[in-house]
Structure 1
Amino acid sequence: MGLITFLSDFGYRDHYVAAVKARLLGLVPAVPVLDLTHAIEPYNVPHAVHVLGAVFADFPAGTVHLIGVDDHGGARRGWVAASWRGHYFVAADNGILTLLTDARPDDVVRLPTPAEWPASPTRDVLAPAAAHLAQGHSLTDLGPLGTELNPLVNRQLRLQDHRITGHVVHVDHYGNLVTNITRTAIEAVGHGRACTVHFARESVRGFAPHFQAVDPGDVACVYNGQGALCIGVNQGHASELLGLHFDSQVDVRFAVNE
């Protein structure tokens, strides 16, 4: 028997999460359902992609990831199930799976659209599909294989000989700024050269091992557990203090060796 994770923008004040879990309990009572978070900002697809992308691979192969974010976003394109890197995902076709997989899932099927519009697509369409997959059944039992997904595109890094340009892709609970600039990219372009991180009107030389390595109120640049460049203020809210938000530009500039 498998495992289902559940991610949504439903919040914690209403009955929506409980309704989905009640449906799963009725369908697959022996399958554990683990909540990732239900505090995704409403309809915020990039937020969902960031959270899911940071953690899904830590679960065992074969885990089913039920994504109830912007689930009515399937109004135009419907709902899909996909396999990728040994995991299964069920979601509205609103760009989440395109961004998560860089438009390269292993297999995709389009879930049947109910004759009557579902009151809760996550409960009525996605949860039964997740239960089916968690029982070890085939993806193709759910619908015909296809290739098309809602064609959203991730922000791409701009790499130059002495500079990398990226963007903030997430602001976490503490106000830390997560960028799409990776340690791998910095090492590939920098070749061990000293670098300075530039953002807004500020700049920071080099990287700290963690945010607490600088004095309270000071800015630090660190790598997170996924190897992404992050900007934070020790004991402060970097997004508010620095005036940086989702999609703000961040540059890494390298010393020019003569």
Structure 2
Amino acid sequence: MAVITFLSDFGYTDHYVAAVKAKIISQNPDATIVDISHGIEPYNIAQAEYVLGAVFRDFPEGTVHLVAVNTHGSKQGKYHAAKYKGHYFLLCDNGLLSLLTDGRPDVVVELKTEHPHLAFPAKDLLAPAAVYLAKGGDLEVLGDQTYNFRQLLNRQLRLNDHSITGHIIHVDRYGNLITNITRDSIETIAHGRTYTIHFARETMGRIYPTYNQVDDGDCCCTYNSLGQLCIGINKGHAAELLGLGFDSQVDVRFYPGS
């Protein structure tokens, strides 16, 4: 049986997470459930997309990802099962699927349900579908194939010969600011030139291997394991101290010469 991962905005103080897991285990006591996070901010599908997108490829193909974030985000009461890059995803039609797949999932079906406005869809609809898929069930048995799902667009980089303009796409628990500017984009535009990174009122001219390469309280830039440019303060909360957050602008400017 395939692994089932679970991501939600349910938090850790209510019974909601346990209720969904109870439904899964009651249908298959041998189910393997891996919690990705239940600390997603309520209704924050951009945060959910980043967290799930950062880790789902680390699981084996065939893994089923149950995503219970903003589960009442579709006024039509639509829920989808999708396949993308060998993984299965179960989620509400709230735009998250398009963000996660850049609008190009391999297959999408609209889940069949007799009650389109369920009080607890993660438990009553998504959990049974997750068990079915984890047992090797056919995706298209769960519903009719569709190409009609809510479309949202990820923030795109603005590139030219002398600059890159990006944005902060995630703030982690430590206050580090993760951007959509990648190592590849910087190295492609740089062609060996020097460059500076601009954010808030700060200018940085170097990217460090890790945050602890600077003194405590100092700001620095680094790349994370996904190759994304990150801004942090060693043993400090960069988001609070710099006054930056989701969607704040970050610029990289390149200069002639080497």
User: Does 1:230 pair with 2:230?
Assistant: yes
Q: Give secondary structure in 1 for the equivalent of 2:83.
A: strand
What are the residue-to-residue correspondences of 1:13-162 with 2, within 5 Å?
13-76=13-76, 78-115=78-115, 117-162=117-162
Structure 2 CA distance, aligned partners of 1:116 and 1:188? 48
Structure 1 CA distance, aligned partners of 2:125 and 2:236? 42
Q: Give secondary structure in 1 for the equivalent of 2:208.
A: coil
How many Å apart are 1:140 and its aligned residue? 0.5
Q: 1:88 to 1:165 in 2, by over 3 A?
A: same
Q: Conserved in 2, the CA contact under 8 Å of 1:77 and 1:150?
A: no
1:71-123 Cα offsets, whole Å, 9 max, x none, are 11133351001000110000001111100110011110011233363121111
Q: Which amino acid aligns with 1:243?
A: G
How many Å apart are 1:257 and its aligned residue? 3.2
Q: Conserved in 2, the CA contact under 8 Å of 1:182 and 1:228?
A: yes
TM-score (normalizing by structure 1): 0.97
How many Å apart are 1:185 and its aligned residue? 0.9
1:171-197 Cα offsets, whole Å, 9 max, x none, are 100000000111111111112222111
Q: Give secondary structure in 2 for the equivalent of 1:61.
A: coil
Q: Conserved in 2, the CA contact under 8 Å of 1:183 and 1:223?
A: yes
User: Is there any run of 5+ residues in structure 1 with no aligned partner, and where?
Assistant: none
How many Å apart are 1:245 and its aligned residue? 0.6
Q: Which amino acid aligns with 1:83?
A: K
Structure 2 CA distance, aligned partners of 1:71 and 1:91? 7
User: In terms of mean alpha carbon deviation, does 164-173 or 137-146 score higher?
Assistant: 137-146
Q: Conserved in 2, the CA contact under 8 Å of 1:7 and 1:67?
A: yes
Q: 1:116 to 1:239 in 2, by over 3 A?
A: closer
Query: What number of residue pairs does the alignment pair up?
Result: 258
Q: Conserved in 2, the CA contact under 8 Å of 1:194 and 1:206?
A: no
TM-score (normalizing by structure 2): 0.97
Structure 1 segments, 4+ long, off by >6 Å, are none
Structure 1 CA distance, aligned partners of 2:111 and 2:215? 53
Structure 2 CA distance, aligned partners of 1:147 and 1:187? 37
Q: Conserved in 2, the CA contact under 8 Å of 1:4 and 1:134?
A: yes
Q: Which amino acid aligns with 1:61?
A: E
Query: How large is the RMSD of aligned CA atoms in angstroms?
Result: 1.2
Q: Conserved in 2, the CA contact under 8 Å of 1:239 and 1:245?
A: yes
Q: Conserved in 1, the CA contact under 8 Å of 2:194 and 2:256?
A: no
What are the residue-to-residue correspondences of 1:178-193 with 2, within 5 Å?
178-193=178-193
Q: Which amino acid aligns with 1:72?
A: H
1:189-221 Cα offsets, whole Å, 9 max, x none, are 112222111001111112000000011111110
> Which residue number corresponds to residue 11 of structure 2?
11
Structure 2 CA distance, aligned partners of 1:114 and 1:256? 64
User: Is there any run of 5+ residues in structure 2 with no aligned partner, and where?
Assistant: none
Structure 1 CA distance, aligned partners of 2:234 and 2:24? 42
Q: Give secondary structure in 2 for the equivalent of 1:73.
A: coil
Q: Give secondary structure in 2 for the equivalent of 1:170.
A: strand
Q: 1:120 to 1:68 in 2, by over 3 A?
A: same
Q: Conserved in 2, the CA contact under 8 Å of 1:167 and 1:249?
A: yes
